[in-house]
Amino acid sequence: MATFVFLIRHARAEYRPGRLYGWTPGVHLAPDGVEDAKRLAVRLEPVRFRAMYSSPLERCRETADAIVAGRGLDVRLLEGLGEVRYGRWQGRSFASLARTKLWRTVQLFPSQATFPGGESLRETQARGVEAIEQIRREHKSGAVAVVSHADMVKAIVAHYMGMHLDMFQRLAIAPASATVLALGNGFPRLLCMSDTGDFSSFRPARPKRS
């Protein structure tokens, strides 16, 4: 048996470009993000989700709400799926952050990066993976949806694909996209990444009979 984890990045949020928002409260989906979330929900209609999990932040919850509309599922919030805790970097412009020594570390050697007053990227990855393992323990088969953030999705994928965290910046995750992991039946498998197409052909693989 396998658990199919749909790692979904939230749709476009309504914030000023060029600034690091992190856990800043009150950041909702932008008008075009609302429409993208609705289109994402349509694309995911063929998938029979057993549960829906989300980061506690508004932009993820609103994306999750769009997906579960009409499905009879509750959105379960998991703190572990939340955005990187950037500490004193939160709210600052990328232009100002790019002038710091830590910026280069974050881009080239993220495994060594700890945000001032926040957490390290290793800690981010660890809590994200623990959240997925918690979900996996509860749902040993079938499809589960998880709405989170780009860096968290990248960190989770890096872990299950056996990639060093220093390589996770090489991954790209589009807004309102789905990345699908099959966990179980041996080693983890990455079925698709940053997919913005439809899932009409998705069928959970049946276990082989010996």
CATH of the domain at 18: 3.40.50.1240
Judge whether 34 lies within some domain: yes
pTM (two decimals)? 0.93
186 φ/ψ sector (left φ>0, alpha ψ -120 to 50, else beta): left
Residue 126 counted as domain residue = yes
Distance CA 99, CA 45 (A): 45
Q: Hey, what are 6's tokens?
A: 């749909």
Q: Is residue 205 part of a domain?
A: no
Establish if 25 belongs to a structural domain.
Answer: yes
Q: Is residue 79 assigned to a domain?
A: yes
8 Å CB contact between 8 and 67 = yes
What pLDDT digit, counting tens, does each position of 53-87 carry?
999 999 999 999 999 999 999 999 999 999 999 99
**166 and 108 Cβ atoms separated by less than 8 Å:** yes
User: How many structural domains comprise the chain?
Assistant: 1
In a domain, 210, yes or no: no
**pLDDT tier, 207 (very low <50, low <70, confident <90, very high otherwise):** very low
**Range of the structural domain that residue 43 is part of:** 2-195
Per-residue pLDDT tens digits for 131-174: 999 999 999 999 999 999 999 999 999 999 999 999 999 999 99
Residue 91 placed within a domain: yes
Residue 48 inside a domain? The answer is yes
pLDDT digits (tens, 9 = 90+) for 82-127: 999 999 999 999 999 999 999 999 999 999 999 999 999 999 999 9
